[in-house]
Structure 1
């Protein structure tokens, strides 16, 4: 059963009696300064994303109101006008506002939380301790006990400048952001944070290295089970320290890290308040967006429940199995709503349509014979008859024609139109705009949205892993920072796919990483290492995002196995162990297998005549086909494997790459890894025609055409045999 024990506070901060001079203030950041939700955030800021059909910022402001906050300072950067326009329609800025003061501070030049803190310090708005929070937090906690603990510490020692509010949780919990895990080393006696380290999975470095002074505490607690949603209780010293240190940008990667490292210089202390029973989560990416919405729908965030209609724009009625319907919803007798489904007002659903575990927004129109499973459909969406929509996000004003299939994982941004009969694949992010910074807009790609559709694949030049790298790199001396960024640029570019002229891209990166590790070890002789005994942790900086970290290690492991001719079972076992320890997806496994296959084939065929390539490739495929087969479980997986092989083959050059790709497909087809239908699906897949993919597909296309002709001949032969049998039967 969900927890039902949350209580409302008694007055400001949940205290029975409070100093009249104390006014609880809150600083709310509406910008995440991240790129995870692009392209949707080009038109809707993250804080206005609908979570269970309610803009996300409402949950954060509701928490502040319940906590007795009297003054709110809301910092806005991008799309501030949309945030302000929405808030003016709510109770937060109306006559019945629970806040005595609600001030929106707009500065389009802000690029980080550090910039916001420096501006806050310059405006002299803060009168005492305040809450610092982002506008993407959902919580039912009462801040009172944490605030009391913070103020009690401050009364004893003014150098206790900040308290981080953390939630105890399993490290694999669904609301734990997989790309933002950390280790907190605490003084067990008083909760003071002694060491902080962001952790990415890396089995090669299983130790957490601690400065020797950390071990001077009588007892320490090493925690990897704390969910950090960036709720902080801060003193006035915090904005001032950001002003003193202009290179502080990130509240954890820079500020916390700097205060802990420079304790002898500043003498400031940061503590942790750990809650065990409260629900606290933050929408950081698609994974947490999905998890938090499901928690609200199923009641795990009680009393934050849909049918409690906490906000002005909500009017829901709950039926059994967590099914919620707002007013003026039109359903037919044959419409089926399965458990954990939400349908917004003025939405109509056609006959024989099934909605399962999905959230459908307001004023949507869903046709007949439609299946929607685990999807998030925003407002004003039209879905034609006979469509299938998997676990995906479909933003406002999207139109899906009849017989459209949206695969799990797809993101369809505002105003996109998908033509009838089109399949939207799971790795697609489709948009109609590249954003305000785009030099020129792209034209509609009919290969993606179909003839008559509107939209194109979105490709971002910078991912959120780049932000993590910047945070990590900025901690290093300038000369080391430059070297690190150079290595990152090499490893993140398209050239990471192996080519005949530059086969050592990954080995060079590995060597560079090893050199950095050796350099770090030589400098850390005065530091003490502790094995956490719970997970594999590294003391080095987070130089790769989780996906790239896994990919590089998997690629290196596979290439070693291929070169040394290890048994397939041994290579498969090692690969599976890596996948499980890193919690990696099979998409990354397929990418690693395809890239390693092509790299090894490139080495085997180096200096060989093109006429002899076929025999080498087919022999290789025959030996290793079972490894590839363990990575594919559906038609989409088979197509994805072929696309990865095609992409990797580009690095071998046109002549060799064309043959390697085609003969690898043929070999995997011969060994029943790739059926004919998968080859046909690859041939039609638009991603196979993007960029330079055409350069290596000519022979593979011939192979696919040959299969199609053979299939046609077989069906003709079968018809002739049936006719002969009928004639014989008639003669008898």
Structure 2
């Protein structure tokens, strides 16, 4: 008996995840260079785990296998080392393609420019994610992907966005640290889950007191919702055809400030809808049937809608750790929810003196030495640190390889890696760059 074996069919990827890991200017001085060595934002730890690892784990759980991770050239060695030494162990099914984009720390390039540059590598629908998004268990990435799948097939939607309500209890920080990320007024239709309007900086400059909404929007969606208490997660699930539009609209720099406010208008402005429906591949017929037929004369079958998923604060802690207040808030959340205090390895635990006082809402990294009568409360201590005798640490985040000398007192501070604090020094609401040294009694 003979069996004919069918040749294997190539597996088509459904989604490509694009993770953007920039310089992290809002996290300076933590993201500043340590001598000649950069401190990549993507590798800044949250509860002793690099922030990008939260995003990669989230992607893997959604079933996506392929990731395009884009970072500045100077960050590539450190991020590459992380991917091949740690990330593959925690997310083994991911295939990570690490690429660099020649950006300038002083003049950041917008997401639209990055997508144009890498368009040849994007062959399918894609989801864009920042490296600093910390998702809650109650918001799986598959929820966004499923909404996108259903709506693109049912009515020709173009993209799905995610907005979240920041935690109500804000972390108290000094003004010098800056403020939490600015919230953005948006308008959406709850019944269909459609994003209708996104306020921009240009709109605010032109009319800071009011939102200017077209009657065509209100006529089509008479029962809209409006809020100025939601934050953009900067997670966008998009049809691949979006890249073609970005090539045509070369003046677009930011997805958040330029592309999505423009895309929202296509849903209810008939002229624009017909004109750009062709570009998105949602028009019957590939070309005008006659020279006298314009794009507006053809039948547009797709809705060109922008879907929206809203995550409420009561559904679980969610944050973008893209500035100092949010970074401290994210660390404090995880220590408050921590199920352990000391390293699980007995040898590493032996480095913590039995007479040290460590509260259950603190986390101590591997190979960290804590001397007798040191007191640690509501804090995250990194790996390979030394905490001296009678040191007192409250509400702090201390990165790897820091030394806190005898009798030093730290309150609500963040120390960059390799920071040294001299004996009996006192720090309150301070942030240090990597390698900084605080003198004795300073």
| TM-score normalised according to structure 2 size | 0.77
- Report if aligned partners of 2:160, 2:236 keep a CA contact under 8 Å in 1: yes
Choose which of 102, 105, 130 in structure 1 pairs with 2:96: 102
Asked if residue 231 in structure 1 is aligned to residue 235 in structure 2, the reply is yes
Counterpart pick for 1:289 among 321, 324, 327: 327
1:470-549 pair list within 5 angstroms: none
Q: 1 CA distance for matches of 2:198 and 2:342? A: 42
1:273 corresponds to 2:264: no
User: What is the CA deviation profile of residues 43-94 of structure 1, one whole-angstrom value per residue up to 9, with x for unaligned ones?
Assistant: 21111001101111111100000110111111112412211122111243x6
Q: Look up the SS of the partner of 1:79 in the other structure.
A: helix
Q: CA deviation at 1:290?
A: 1.4
CA distance in structure 2 between the aligned counterparts of 1:201 and 1:368, rounded to whole angstroms: 53
Residue 671 of structure 1 corresponds to none
CA contact (8 A) 1:361 1:377 kept: yes
Task: Work out which of the residue numbers 65, 70, 77 in structure 2 matches 1:81.
Answer: 77
Q: 1:95-153: per-residue Cα shift (whole Å, max 9, x none)? A: 98212x321112224722122111222x14222x2211011111132222322221221
Q: Is the 2:420–2:436 Cα contact (8 Å) retained in structure 1?
A: yes
Rounded Cα–Cα distance in structure 2 between residues aligned with 1:419 and 1:155: 63
Structure 2 CA distance for partners of 1:198 and 1:363, relative to 1, 3 Å: same
CA contact (8 A) 1:23 1:70 kept: no
**CA pair 341-278 structure 1, distance change in 2 beyond 3 A:** closer
Secondary structure of the 1:181 match is coil
Task: Confirm whether residue 29 of structure 1 aligns to residue 20 of structure 2.
Answer: yes
Give me the whole-angstrom Cα distance separating, in 2, the residues matched to 1:153 and 1:387.
57
2:357 is the counterpart of 1:353: no
Which residue does the alignment assign to 1:251?
255
TM-superposition CA deviations, 1:327-363 (whole Å, max 9, x none): 3132333311124111111111222211011111111
Summarize deviations over 1:516-552 as a string: whole Å, max 9, x none. Answer: xxxxxxxxxxxxxxxxxxxxxxxxxxxxxxxxxxxxx
Distance 1:51 1:169 in 2: 17
Distance 1:361 1:34, change over 3 A: closer
Tell me by how many angstroms 1:279 deviates: 4.4
Equivalent of 2:131 in 117, 127, 135: 135
Q: TM-score scaled to structure 1, two decimals?
A: 0.48
Alpha-carbon shift at residue 223 of structure 1 (Å): 2.2
Corresponding residue number in structure 2 for 1:381: 402
What CA distance in whole angstroms lies between the structure 1 residues aligned with 2:193 and 2:367? 51
Matched, 1:56 2:59: no
Instruction: Assess if the C-alpha contact under 8 Å between 2:162 and 2:235 holds in 1.
Output: yes
Offset of 1:170 from its aligned partner? 6.3
Q: Which has the larger radius of gyration?
A: 1
1:240, distance to aligned residue in structure 2 (A): 2.3
**Unaligned runs of at least 5 residues, structure 2:** 1-10, 33-37, 173-178, 278-303
3-state secondary structure, aligned to 2:193: coil
Matches of 2:103 and 2:153 in 1, distance apart? 37
Q: Distance in 2 between matches of 1:352 and 1:147?
A: 51
CA-to-aligned-CA distance 1:482-513 (integer Å, 9 cap, x gap): xxxxxxxxxxxxxxxxxxxxxxxxxxxxxxxx
Aligned to 1:151: 149
Deviation at residue 258 of structure 1 after TM alignment? 2.4
| Deviation beyond 4 Å, 4+ runs, structure 1 | 168-175, 198-202
Q: Which residue of 2 aligns with 1:197?
A: 199
Structure 1's 173 and 379: CA in aligned 2 closer, same or farther, altered over 3 A? closer
More divergent stretch after superposition (178-187 vs 270-279)? 270-279
**Which of residues 59, 62, 65 is equivalent to 1:67?**
62
Corresponding residue to 2:162 among 162, 165, 168 = 165
Q: Partners of 2:15 and 2:240 in 1: how far apart? A: 12
Secondary structure, aligned partner of 1:145: helix
Q: Measure how far apart 1:272 and its partner are.
A: 0.5
- Alignment CA distance shift 1:74-1:174 (3 Å): same
Please tell me whether the aligned partners of residues 170 and 329 of structure 2 are also in contact (alpha carbons under 8 angstroms): no
Aligned to 2:111: 113
- 1:598: which partner in 2? none
Secondary structure (helix, strand or coil) at the match of 2:235 reads strand
Separation in 2, partners of 1:239, 1:174: 39
Displacement of 1:230: 1.2
Q: Retained in 1: the 8 A contact 2:24–2:322? A: no
User: Which residue does the alignment assign to 1:619?
Assistant: none
Match status 1:213 vs 2:216 = yes
| Residue 368 of structure 1, aligned match among 383, 389, 396 | 389
Per-residue CA deviation, residues 596-649 of structure 1 (Å, 9 max, x unaligned), is xxxxxxxxxxxxxxxxxxxxxxxxxxxxxxxxxxxxxxxxxxxxxxxxxxxxxx
Give the number of equivalent residue pairs. Answer: 374
Q: Evaluate the alpha carbon distance shift between residue 124 and residue 44 of structure 1 in structure 2; reply closer, same or farther with a 3 A threshold.
A: closer
8 A contact 1:368–1:385 mirrored in 2: yes
Structure-2 separation of matches of 1:55 and 1:149: 29
**Aligned residue in 2 for 1:561:** none
Give secondary structure in 1 for the equivalent of 2:25.
coil
Check if 1:343 corresponds to 2:360.
no
Change (3 A) 1:117 1:344: same
Maintained 8 Å contact 1:342/1:359 = yes
Partner of 1:39: 29
Provide the rounded CA distance (Å) in 2 between the counterparts of 1:396 and 1:223: 39
Q: Structure 1's 171 and 256: CA in aligned 2 closer, same or farther, altered over 3 A?
A: farther
2:356·2:373 contact (CA, 8 Å) conserved in 1? yes
Task: Please tell me whether the aligned partners of residues 319 and 330 of structure 2 are also in contact (alpha carbons under 8 angstroms).
Answer: yes
Deviation of 1:411 after TM superposition, in Å, equals: 1.1
Greater helix proportion: 1
Distance 1:421 1:86 in 2: 37
Find the aligned partners of 2:329 and 2:61 in 1 and give their Cα distance: 23
Q: Secondary structure at the match of 1:82?
A: helix
Q: Aligned in 2, Cα 1:400/1:250: closer, same or farther, shift over 3 Å?
A: same
Instruction: Note closer, same or farther for the CA distance 1:201–1:292 as it changes in structure 2 (3 Å cut).
Output: farther
